[in-house]
A and B are shown apart, each in its own frame.
Chain A
């Protein structure tokens, strides 16, 4: 992005205040995150005693070891990557296919279709009817069950439509139509190249949704080889739970389990969210001003 600050006095004040506020906010946001990170690398007793602040105390990696020791952790990662990549491609494609016609004023039935979409934000059939449907489509215990039932999020369709409506100038469409460019080609050659930011956004939203999903997997999958990461992580958390009622444990074991549980809470968050955090900078690249429009004008 081009340097947009100017030298006028008012702007200088603006920058000072702006930067200050952002920094305060940054600290407020960062503090708990640092705590989680620090706790995940600390000794459990230190965490329990509340001695951990923003730096690990009595560094150890037991929490992470417990996670990566699980036999299905790697397949969990692999499965999740699959669901994210394939799923997001399906999501984004269908969303764009739906959002573009909706954004066209000359699409006669656009209110009807809009209603159909908005309705699904408010109403859904519920757990059992959806389960029955998946079952009757033969999708139970298949990866497809995690890809198709939630293939389109109406929310995302609507924000994409809004983007198309306000970023693709009407003149562009008219000019193209006069050149004999049909809708398919217009979408492909003109609209999509201009839509980097919104496609990046919905890609991110869908990717995160896929990455975080576990309930669908819980419901539809039996074969553990297909389990996504979040489900495995949830299993690990449950597996290491020590209820206070387990008094017939010897002290050493009880202690071990309790300590592990403390650490796991934090290390699981880090492991679960790290890939999404790594993904973000790649998406951020698309939030660069004018790169799209400029290239078109040129």
Chain B
């Protein structure tokens, strides 16, 4: 920390604290237009995001109708304790984290590879057609997707098992296998989203200065070399940012897909935080607002911790980071 001296040490180049503050104000005034630009978004955040966030305090209360958000009795960490001490807690955390990280790692490189791949397809029309096709699965509803999966994976009549038997193999019960659950979950999600996720990379690739490529071609570079030296550095910032953000959302796995793929035989791995909370909500005689809020807060806090960690690492290792 700079010391507070009477005479500014301009000779050595170090600024005093007072001078830093003054300098910052000068910068702010200079960039006043930027603040104006930010005004509307800021108001949006305050009104529509931060004000309702005050309502998240119901996680620390026993929310009831009469008291409302501010008047309900204080419950402290009771709901958090209930969740953490619940019988299934460690299994739920493990299942959710494993599934989520698996999904993160599997979903990360493929959209990039797809974008690069498409970028270098010689036929423009083919490229556009494939792009369209890979974008479409995003719109298939989960119910239909899981229905399709159950159909092709069935032990008796399913397509996959029919093919396996054709090649002399043994029929397998994929759906009833707890270990298979994770693979099925992750790769079907990848299938559904790789096209949609690759869009941002495709856009980024097109914004790379074409002169770089022209120069490289003139220098005799192969496509692979160009990918390595031009495209990847161009995409890297976006990729890193998305990775950081995805890490923050690692506990946010939705319940619907796991719930649909669940059956009595694979519960060991298919019961995640959100499916458990959902079932509790179904069985619970009264709506569990505070409990659900507590679990949501718990997931968010852990996610934030992970996000800041990865952010710090990436700040050191690469040039891109959120802060």
A14 at the interface (CB under 8 A from B): yes
Instruction: Name the distance in Å between A165's Cβ and chain B's nearest Cβ.
Output: 7
A residues less than 8 Å from B200 (CB atoms): 159, 201
Q: Give chain A residues whose Cβ lies under 8 Å from the Cβ of B135.
A: 277, 280
- Identify the closest chain B residue to A184 (Cβ): B33
CA–CA, A30 and B130, complex, Å: 9
A30 to B3, CA, bound (A): 67
A22: chain B residues at CB < 8 Å are: 117-118, 121, 130
A290 touching B139 by the CB < 8 A rule?
no
- Minimum distance in angstroms from B292 CB to a CB of chain A: 8
- CB contact list, A2-19 vs B, under 8 A: 2-6, 8, 10-11, 14-15, 18-19
Tell me if A115 and B323 are in contact (CB < 8 A).
yes
Bound together, the chains give a CA A208 to CA B209 distance in angstroms of: 29
- Do B224 and A183 touch (CB < 8 A)? no
User: What total of chain B residues lie within 8 Å of the partner, measured CB to CB?
Assistant: 93
Q: Which B residues between 31 and 46 are near A, CB-CB below 8 angstroms? A: 31, 33-38, 40-42, 44-45
Complex contacts, A208 vs chain B, CB 8 Å: 138
Q: Size of chain A's interface in residues, with CB distance under 8 A?
A: 101
Is there contact, CB below 8 Å, between A126 and B148? no
Contact of A32 with B140 in the complex, beta carbons under 8 Å:
yes
Query: Counting chain A CB atoms within 10 Å of each CB, which of B35, B199, B202 scores highest?
Result: B199
Choice from A151, A268, A280 contacting B132 with Cβ under 8 Å: A280
Instruction: Judge whether A159 and B121 touch: CB under 8 Å.
Output: no
* Bound Cα distance A118, B48 (Å): 15
Contact: B136 with A277, CB < 8 Å? yes
Is A293 an interface position by the 8 A CB rule? yes
Residues from chain A with Cβ under 8 Å of B273 in the complex:
none
* Chain B residues whose CB sits within 8 angstroms of the CB of A290 once the complex forms: 206, 209-210
Flag if A32 contacts B148 (CB, 8 Å). yes
A182 on the B face (CB < 8 A): yes
In chain A between 115 and 131, which residues have their CB closer than 8 angstroms to a CB of chain B? 115-126, 128-130
Contact call A125/B121, Cβ cutoff below 8 A: no
Residue from B37, B41, B48, B307 with most neighbouring chain A CB atoms (10 Å):
B41
Specify which of A35, A98, A280 is in contact with B38 (CB 8 Å cutoff).
Answer: A98
On whether A6 and B37 interact (CB within 8 A), knowing A25-B134, A109-B28, the answer reads: no
Assuming A29-B134, A29-B191, A281-B132, is B34 touching A287 (CB within 8 A)? no
CB pair A33–B136 under 8 Å, yes or no, is yes
Inter-chain contact B45/A116, CB cutoff 8 Å: yes
Contact residues in A for B27 (Cβ distance below 8 Å): 106, 108
A246 to B48, CA, bound (A): 45
Counting CB contacts under 8 A, is A155 at the interface? yes
Write the chain B residue with the least CB distance to A289: B206
A292 and B207 contact, Cβ closer than 8 Å, known pairs A29-B134, A50-B157, A101-B37: yes
Beyond A124-B52, A124-B53, A284-B131, whether A35 also contacts B300 by CB under 8 A is: no
Determine whether A94 belongs to the interface, using a CB cutoff of 8 Å to chain B: yes
Is B204 on the interface with A (CB-CB < 8 A)? yes
> Contact: A108 with B241, CB < 8 Å?
no
Contacts of B222 in A (CB 8 A): 6, 8, 10-11, 14
Residues facing A in B148-166 (CB within 8 A) are: 148, 151, 157
In the complex the two chains form, what is the Cα distance from A118 to B49 in whole Å? 12
Contact assessment for A15 and B304 in the assembled complex, using a CB-CB cutoff below 8 Å: no
Which of B130, B139, B213, B320 contacts A269, CB < 8 Å?
Answer: B139
30 cross-chain CB contacts under 8 A: A5-B223, A8-B222, A10-B223, A18-B117, A25-B114, A32-B145, A97-B37, A106-B30, A108-B28, A113-B42, A114-B322, A117-B45, A118-B322, A119-B304, A121-B249, A122-B303, A122-B304, A123-B304, A129-B56, A129-B69, A130-B48, A155-B245, A158-B245, A198-B203, A212-B139, A277-B135, A277-B139, A284-B132, A286-B203, A290-B206
Residues of B within 8 A of A (CB): 24, 27-28, 30-31, 33-38, 40-42, 44-45, 47-56, 58, 69, 114, 117-118, 120-122, 124, 128, 130-141, 143-145, 147-148, 151, 157, 191, 195, 199-200, 202-210, 213, 217, 220, 222-224, 234, 237-238, 241-242, 245, 248-249, 289, 293, 296-297, 300, 303-304, 307, 320, 322-323
- For the complex of A and B, the 6 pairs showing the least CB-CB separation, nearest first, are A129-B55, A125-B52, A273-B139, A98-B41, A197-B203, A290-B210
- Beyond contacts A121-B245, A201-B203: 17 other A-B pairs, Cβ-Cβ < 8 A, are A6-B223, A14-B120, A15-B223, A26-B133, A97-B40, A104-B31, A116-B42, A120-B49, A124-B52, A166-B234, A166-B237, A183-B33, A277-B135, A277-B139, A286-B203, A287-B206, A289-B210
